[in-house]
Amino acid sequence: MDIVLLERIDKLGNMGDVVAVRPGYARNFLLPQGKALRATRDNIARFEAERAEREERNLERRDVASSLKEKIEGVHVTLIRQAADNLQLYGSVKARDIADGLAALGFPVDRRTVVLDRPIKTLGLFEVTTLLHPEVSTTVIANVARTADEAMIQEATGRAFHRADEEEEEAEVAEVAEEAEEAEEVDEGTMDEEAEDETAGEDVDDTSLQE
């Protein structure tokens, strides 16, 4: 099916381009979303008559999107979810969840602009593209964790929090404490030996005096 694009569409073309697409893609997405018109003679003429006005509005929207990008780029969206010890979620995180998280941070975006090829099903940090405008995209970080504390650890370390890490850290602390305790015992043993040597020396001196 031939259509005329009313805005830039990635991998298709720019505003005003006449391109051929699959009929289903046009009927189910491009046409109902107002992103294109059927490329009939009347529609093409209509577009050309409105081109200047459409391009001006497009520039205004792009400027607004560019301004928002500066504020939203790299923002961490914390999403608290239940998960097993192997990091697998009991459920998943979808585009709507990320959009809701951005809205809670004061960045309202349409969930349809959140590009998520498949739902997130594990704990961790995930780069997610958000199309603020057909010509302006940005990347936010979905920080999926079991608790706010774990989310903070993930953000600080840049990797998924695993309870095994916590257990390993506790084991290292225990090992250091054990080594310190052993060193203290050795020091005490050495001090006892030195004290015995001093006592023995005093006995010898006493014997010499008596003689």
List strand residue ranges (DSSP E) for 109-158, in order: 114-115, 120-122, 124-133, 136-145
CA 151 to chain centroid, in Å, comes to: 10
Assigned CATH class of 76-165: alpha beta
Domain map (residue ranges) of the chain: 2-63, 76-165
> How confident is the model over 10-69, as pLDDT tens digits?
889 999 999 999 999 999 999 998 999 999 999 999 999 999 999 999 999 999 999 999
The topology (CATH level 3) of 2-63 is Ribosomal Protein L9; domain 1 (3.40.5)
Q: Compute the average pLDDT of residues 186-203.
A: 56
